Amino acid sequence: MSSPSSQPVLHAPTADAKVGQVTEIDLSCRLPLLVLFLSAATWLVIGWVFQLIASIKFHNPNFLADHAWLTYGRVHPAFTNSFLYGFGLQAGLGVILWLMAQMGNVRLVNGWLVTVGAKVFNLGITVGVIGILAGDSTGFEYLEMPGYASVLVLIGYVFIALWGVVTFHQRLRRQLVAAHWFLLSALFWFPWVYSSANLLLVTFPVRGMAQAVIAWWYAQNFLVLWTALVGLGTLFSLVPRLAGRELNSHYTALFTYWILILFVGWGGIPNPASVPAWIPTVSTVGTVLALLAFIAGPLAICQTLDCSWAAVRRSAPMAFFVFGTICFAVAGFARGGIALLDSSHALHFTWLAPALTALTFYGFFGMVLFGAVYVIVPRLLGVGLPSPKLMRAQLWLSVIGVLLVFVPLAIGGIVQDSKLTDSHVPFIEVTRSSLLFLRASTMGDLLLLVAHILLLANLIGLVVGFYRTRATTTYAELTEDRFKPARARS
């Protein structure tokens, strides 16, 4: 920690609330980002309510079974969409906007239009989730929101992202850093893949299995590649600032960037897919080549921190970041391992796949976003977190929760695989053996729900605290004005 740094040091929020004055840049981000982050945290809570319902159905299939809109096949996509789009995409955008303004040392351009965009975006997701519950899902995994909702989501996204790009363009600090490459690419990447997938699957659907291939391509580009771009971009920007040193090194980060955008997008087609063999084969090659990024990215973070845990112990946001980095590497390698399995291997259809999705999107991306939100929001408002203890509690609940989801599901997947492969084991026996692990993961989901309620409470507490301070000062000023003439007269 002794090395000098040219970059401004971001201090972790502390209880003594002496964060000081809000800079002009943070002020320009305040309203749009608070809208984005609060909505994201709300979707997180809503999503986990759906997830808990879905999870309980594995304990008792009769649970809420008489309502069509609460059947497992609707609640589950309602959960994934609230989580992926409502939380992940939205909070990710917020973090990108703030970093664009910070790195460019420039105010966020047209913040009020970003707020409008956020409203349209949230309307789109609300319509989409209701559509899924009403049975209007498109049927493509991770792209379930019906066409009329995706249009709103896309318009909202473009409205938000556009001002991120303009802010980047007007940056005063012209020097490009590694995070610029990641974050600006991410801003463009999502609307390209999202509109491409929606046009080819929903608006003008292609024929037969080509649909499934495009759906897998989209899922890979959003779930793995977009999250990696935003997550790593955030890490490469915030970790050095929090630690008060330079990114080590810029070139490792750029290498990671090129590997990511060149190879990750090819992966994601499962080997047993009923398509000509070259497609999963090429996809496997892409996934394996992409492993370089899953080494280089975490390595850059590790080297920046001197590969020591000291920084983690000092700041809770840093703990979020480091945990996210570890999950990123583990999930990448596990995915590479699965891609190398033979197509007839039963592991492709087990709970290991959802376990890895949880590890990527929650363990890595979600945790990085949590850390970033805890760094950003107190600075936006100029007040400390109402309770840093709550933040630490959320950290622990999230870490234990996601491990309690990942580990049982991954083990369950492997057990399921070994039993599926032996054709003498009756299928119901296979299901029964995996149910045990599935039920264990409900515990994890419960912890995560509590963690998200804490996050929301912490954010709401911050905003309430801020406005209370503001109201008190305004009241004091007002009353001062009122009593001035009286005082003058006396």
Which residues within the stretch 135-194 sit at the binding site for other proteins (CB under 8 A)?
135-141, 168-169, 174-176, 180-181, 184-185, 188-189, 192-193
Site map for other proteins, 419-448, x if CB under 8 A?
Answer: -xxxxxxxxx-xxx-xx-------------
- Which residues within the stretch 221-250 sit at the binding site for other proteins (CB under 8 A)? 221
Least distance in angstroms from the C-beta of 237 to other proteins: 15
Burial class (CB in 10 A: 0-12, 13-18, 19+), 56: middle
With respect to other proteins, which residue has the nearer C-beta, 2 or 62? 62
Q: Which of 73, 308, 310, 468 binds other proteins (CB under 8 A)?
A: 73
Task: Count interface residues toward other proteins (CB under 8 A).
Answer: 94
Q: How far is the CB of 420 from other proteins (least distance, A)?
A: 6
Distance CA(34)–CA(255), nearest Å, equals 34
71 interacts with other proteins by CB under 8 A = yes
- Does the footprint of other proteins cover residue 340 (CB under 8 A)? no
Quick check: 57 binds other proteins (CB under 8 A)? yes
* By the rule CB under 8 A, 258 interacts with other proteins: yes
Let me know: does 303 contact 249? Beta carbons within 8 Å.
yes
Report in angstroms how near the CB of residue 52 gets to other proteins at its nearest.
Answer: 15
How many whole angstroms separate alpha carbon 356 and alpha carbon 343?
18
**Closest CB to other proteins among 199 and 312?**
199
Residue pointed to by tokens 């992966």: 267
CB of 327 to other proteins, least distance (A): 21
Six token digits for residue 7: 């970059």
Instruction: Determine which residue in the list 86, 88, 92, 286 makes contact with other proteins, applying CB under 8 A.
Output: 286
Token digits for 250?
Answer: 């810029």
What minimum distance in Å lies between the beta carbon of 215 and other proteins?
8
Q: Does 30 bind other proteins (CB under 8 A)?
A: no
Sole binder of other proteins in the list 88, 128, 265, 371 (CB under 8 A): 265
Question: Which residue type sits at 41?
Answer: A
By CB under 8 A, the residues from 118 to 137 that bind other proteins are 135-137
Q: How far is the CB of 196 from other proteins (least distance, A)?
A: 7
CA 376, CA 201: separation in Å to the nearest integer? Answer: 37
Give min distance, CB of 462 to other proteins, in A. 33
Reference 252, options 268, 235, 265, 267; nearest CA is 235
Among 20, 207, 486, 488, binds other proteins (CB under 8 A): 207
Classify 10 in phi/psi space as left (phi over 0), alpha (psi -120 to 50) or beta.
Answer: beta
Closest CA to 394 of 464, 332, 323: 323
Backbone φ and ψ of 344, nearest 5°: -85, 0
- Examine residue 351 and tell whether it contacts other proteins (CB under 8 A): yes
Ramachandran category for residue 142: left, alpha or beta (phi over 0 → left; psi -120 to 50 → alpha): left
Contact call for residues 345 and 271 (beta carbons, < 8 A):
yes
Q: What string of DSSP letters covers 327-381?
A: HHHHHHHHHHHHHTS-TT-GGGGSTHHHHHHHIIIIIIIIHHHHHHHHHHHHHHH
Pick the closer one to other proteins by CB: 24 or 422: 422
